[in-house]
Amino acid sequence: MQFEKGYLYHIYNQGNNRQKIFFNDENYLFFLRKIKTYILPYADILSWCLMPNHFHLMVYVREVALDGKKLGVSLRHAEYKRTFNESIGILLMSYTKALNIQQKRTGKLFREATKAECINCLKGNTPSFVKSEINIKPFERQYPQICFEYIHQNPVKAGLVKQTTDWEFSSARDYYAGRHGRLIDKEITRKYITFE
């Protein structure tokens, strides 16, 4: 994954062989705490959704690397820097370790490569779920809106709920049902997304 400061990204991964990654409500809440620890120092979250076998995050990257002092961890070398990529890897490894203990299992939980697609730049290819929906310019304004809605629609499309706000483990409730979650940043979101 290559991140650049000042851009929006859609980050996602799923269980290895599409296996479940969340087995109970506490698993979802534990993963959200991990997101707070490992994602928020680097990025503002615009939307998120945790599904039984995968997750989605839409983020605005503020920093691609931070030194140990800013991360608030004790490090032997003051010059040590941790990248956003490394932080995502630590999030997934630490969650996997805890879940493996809980489920009395071993091995990989997530697919090998976490995906991160730039949403508001014209570099690279447009993901297939978006191509048919973009038909007017500017592209860099449409894609963020479509991705935002796509992330929130996941539980509906999977048949888990009838409305996006029925799914507890998504930022849809923060935008449309009055929940005051602490992960998302509505001020940053307003710069890119129409949600009210």
- Put residue 125 in one of left, alpha, beta given phi > 0 → left and psi -120 to 50 → alpha: beta
Q: Which domains does the chain have, with CATH numbers?
A: 8-192 (3.30.70.1290)
pTM: 0.87
State pLDDT tens for residues 43-57: 999 999 999 999 999
Q: In 3-state terms, what secondary structure has residue 27?
A: helix
Average pLDDT of the chain? Answer: 88
Which H helix or E strand runs over 151? helix 139-157
Sequence-distant (6+) residues with CB within 8 A of 66 are: 41, 42, 81, 82
Percent of the chain with pLDDT over 90: 77
**pLDDT band for position 134 (50/70/90)?**
very low
CA distance 92 to 90: 5
User: What would the pLDDT profile of 56-112 be if each residue is shown by its tens digit?
Assistant: 999 999 999 998 666 665 555 556 789 999 999 999 999 999 999 999 999 999 999
Please give the Cα distance from 184 to 94 (Å, whole number). Answer: 22
